[in-house]
Amino acid sequence: MATTVTRTRKKRDRDAIPDELIVVDDGFRPSPAGWAARGAVLVFVAVLVLWLGPVVLLGGEEWFALALAAIYAIIGLSLNVLIGYVGTISLGHQAFVGIGAFASAYVVTEMQQPFLIGVGLAALIGAFQAMLLGGLALRVTGLYFALITLSYGLFAQDTLFGIQSLTGGGSGREAPLPTGPDNFAPYYFICLAFLAGVVFIDRRMMATKGGRALLALRENPRVAQTFGIDVRAYTVLGFGVAGLFAGIGGALLAHLNGFVDSTEFSFQLALVFVLMTVVGGLRNRTGIIIGSAFFALLDLLIRKVPGLEHRLADLDTTIPVVLAVAGLAVAIVGGLGRHWIRMGIGLVVGLIGVLILTPVTVPVIENQINEFPILVPETFALVVGPVLLLVTLVMYPGGIGQQIRPIQHWLAGHKFDIHVGGEADVQITDVRA
Amino acid sequence: MTTLLETDSLSIRFGGVQAATDVSIRVSEWEIVGIIGPNGAGKTTTFNMITGFYKPNVGRVRYRGQDVTDLPVHKRTALGMGRTFQNVGLVKGATVRENLVTAQHLRAEYGAVSAMLGSPDAFDTERSLRQEADEILDVLGLGDLADTRVAGLPYGQLKRVEVATVLATDPDLLLLDEPTSGMGPEEAHAFGDTLIELRRDFGLTVLMIEHHVPLVVSVCDYVYCLNFGQILAEGLPNDVRNHPEVVRAYLGEDPDEIAALEAG
């Protein structure tokens, strides 16, 4: 192979490549102490998720919310496959999830099958219905496809989920918790195990030809074809994977609630799913898990602050909530990016919002408090979500994922560099139009 | 020499525009064939019919004697057709090496679904694919760029990376759409040398659209000149270059007048 070497050298001299384009390994390897620090962070996260958070800080009754967070993370990863990898938006994801929920409920209560078979079948049925929709995505793209998914979701909600023999009609269907009534603690770990499985499949897909094919055809289907990629087959495959994940998420959700009925799967839910995925950060699994868990835990957060639940339902307090959330989000994001002015402005705005919300400025008389309607959790998410989305799209198009990239980079054994994961990693033109 | 690619009077119409009429091209194995012609002559349209992006209204495309007119693009890639694009056909968000590995799609002989579920043979295949990609990059002198993101590269480098990427699809017939656009005369000439080396090393046959006439004359074995969707002239490079019709198509002048001007 000596000839190859000389030829290579000759060419290199002829068309010299500018140095700034060459990515070289900086030779940095963490010291044992460095590795230990990285390991400690990972162990801490594991302890937080598996023991400290649920067992110590939150205690018994909050297991439900934690299981919901794991389920939302699965659903977020499902939507990420569609928006992030395939490059098409789904505004009807509540149908994807709902079909899984009803399928598992039917299998478990009507057919008397065990829980795992229910989840498995729900995953397959979810994949199947998504692949049918994927066939459509080959003919209709962009905004028109978004409209189709929107109407598919509404159709499922109003018609499909009302079929008496399958879904129990308006009265819904029972979906017993496999770990026994109200025993949410072990169920949280079951949900985590499913989340781990979903993350595994996602990782393997993106590391092999299926994932590469999806990324290529999202960016440029013509080029993907000349690479020998069957655009039809892989689009359908992408939908299948998204449907598989959504089916699992739906089944887990059904058994968590112990009950499914069609009113749960409204368009609002689909919006929350899209918001949590985009705010979490497309194509960044960790970011999506954090984002989805945040939206799932919002409900718990509201209930933990006394009186907040009622006060939030009051329209007068919507504006301060928006101020507080937007301000604090800008402050955090600005602080992470070392934009001190942004951080300052964010802090001031956020604190104004928080101040208005405190009982000092909005006195709540105890006997009046119950006259306010209690806030529907999704509604709150729909107040907070768009604000976060706006902040995300304007300042960090990669969402939470982009903000945690420096940390991920460091954990992988590199030098800490706050600038890792710049704009180049993210494209705002994510959805093919 | 055996015929590798043959088009049989390809014609296509877009609405009221007849973009190509009776285009018959023959490329034999090991040949480098050029297509020249002014802008809008139907060169890229012809390429799109050959590679399967457009379906001709009339005419057939034959590859190794097999009628491929009705095959989709990716099946033609599987048969050994590789093409580049006028405006650079790469996945811009990925690195150079990732592009090559993506282009090796058909050589990854594991199932996409089984790999997703953690099938172990995918790991080995992935490793060897990355190695092969690096070898191709080294041959083209692009080894240093392997980890660079495509989106940041200058145009001339993009064109070279694109050629490397197409080589990764393991083609027998390379269809290059203006491979030297964005390059200076020096670089274009060097590209001609590279092309001849590639033909030798990879056993390639080349059909290329090219505006840089000196390059066409120096590397091509045979040249077609298109104008208004029709073949204006064909033959050996020098004959085509001096063909009066070709000169008129390019310059819009009487060749005798130009000769007179040059002499005077």
Q: How confident is the model at residue A352 (pLDDT cuts 50, 70, 90)?
A: confident
Q: Which two tokens stand for residue A188?
A: 């949280």
CA distance A217 to A213: 6
CA distance A161 to A260: 10
Q: A225 at the B interface (CB within 8 A)?
A: yes
Closest approach of chain B CAs to the CA of A227, in angstroms?
5
Q: Do A241 and B116 touch (CB under 8 A)?
A: yes
* Nearest chain A residue (CA) to B54: A222
* Nearest chain B residue (CA) to A11: B141
A7 HSE (CA, 13 A, CB side): 15
Q: Which two tokens stand for residue A103?
A: 């399928």
Size of the A and B interface in Cβ pairs below 8 Å: 139
pLDDT higher than threshold 50 for residue A400: yes
* Nearest chain A residue (CA) to B184: A15
Q: B101 at the A interface (CB within 8 A)?
A: yes
Q: Do B112 and A210 touch (CB under 8 A)?
A: yes
Specify the pLDDT at position A81: 96
Cβ-nearest to A8 among B105, B139, B147: B139
Specify the pLDDT at position A306: 63
CA distance A333 to A199: 26
Which has the higher per-residue pLDDT, A408 or A81? A81
Helix (H) or strand (E) holding B231: strand B230-235
Q: Are B75 and B106 in contact (CB under 8 A)?
A: no
Q: Which of B88, B98, B116, B157 to mutate to test the interface with A (most CBs of A within 10 A)?
A: B116
Nearest to A261 by CA among A131, A159, A162, A117: A162
Which has the higher per-residue pLDDT, A383 or B209? B209
ipTM of the complex: 0.91
CA distance A259 to A240: 26
Q: B115 at the A interface (CB within 8 A)?
A: yes
Residue A397 CB contacts under 8 Å (≥ 6 apart), including other chains: A423, A426, A427, A428
Q: To the nearest whole number, what is the mean pLDDT of chain A?
A: 82
Q: What is the largest CA-CA distance in chain B?
A: 76
CA distance B128 to B100: 12
Q: Which residues of B71-91 are buried (b: 16+ CB within 10 A; e: fewer)?
A: bebbebbbebbbbbbeebbbb
Which has the higher per-residue pLDDT, A26 or A348? A348
Q: B221 at the A interface (CB within 8 A)?
A: no
Tens of pLDDT along A6-22?
A: 444 444 444 567 777 77
* Nearest chain A residue (CA) to B160: A15
For chain A, positions 147-206, list CB contacts with chain B under 8 A: 200-201, 204-205
Residue A227 CB contacts under 8 Å (≥ 6 apart), including other chains: A213, A216, B74, B77, B102, B103, B105, B165, B169
Instruction: For the full predicted model, state whether its pTM sits above 0.80.
Output: yes
CA distance A277 to A287: 9
Provide the β-strand partners of residue B17. Answer: B14
For residues A197, A300, A334 and A427, what is the CA-based torsion angle, rounded to 10 degrees? 40
Specify the pLDDT at position B141: 87
Residues written for chain A = 433
Q: Do B115 and A208 touch (CB under 8 A)?
A: yes
pLDDT higher than threshold 90 for residue A74: yes
Cβ-nearest to B169 among A12, A228, A424: A228
Section A406-418 average pLDDT = 84
User: Dihedrals φ, ψ of B205, to 5°?
Assistant: -115, 140
For the beta carbon of residue A120, count every other beta carbon within 10 angstroms.
Answer: 18
Q: Do A223 and B101 touch (CB under 8 A)?
A: no
Least confident interval from A101-105, A285-289, A308-312, B248-252 = A308-312
Contact list in A for residue B105 (CB cut-off 8 A) is: 209, 212-213, 227-229
For the beta carbon of residue A36, count every other beta carbon within 10 angstroms.
Answer: 11
Contact list in B for residue A229 (CB cut-off 8 A) is: 74, 105
DSSP state letter for A334:
H
Number of H helices, E strands in chain A: 19, 2
For residues A347, A349, A352 and A353, what is the CA-based torsion angle, rounded to 10 degrees? -100
Q: How confident is the model at residue A224 (pLDDT cuts 50, 70, 90)?
A: very high
What is the pLDDT tens value at each position of chain B, 264 positions in all?
Answer: 789 999 999 999 999 899 999 999 999 999 999 999 988 899 999 999 999 999 999 999 999 999 999 999 999 999 999 999 988 899 988 899 999 999 999 998 898 898 988 888 888 899 999 999 999 999 888 999 999 888 888 888 898 899 999 999 999 999 999 998 878 888 888 889 989 999 998 899 999 999 888 899 999 999 999 999 999 999 999 999 889 888 888 776 665 665 665 565
Cβ-nearest to B190 among A4, A15, A234: A15
Specify the pLDDT at position A432: 45
Q: How confident is the model at residue A425 (pLDDT cuts 50, 70, 90)?
A: low
Which has the higher per-residue pLDDT, B72 or A50? B72
Contact list in A for residue B110 (CB cut-off 8 A) is: 208-209
pLDDT higher than threshold 60 for residue A374: no
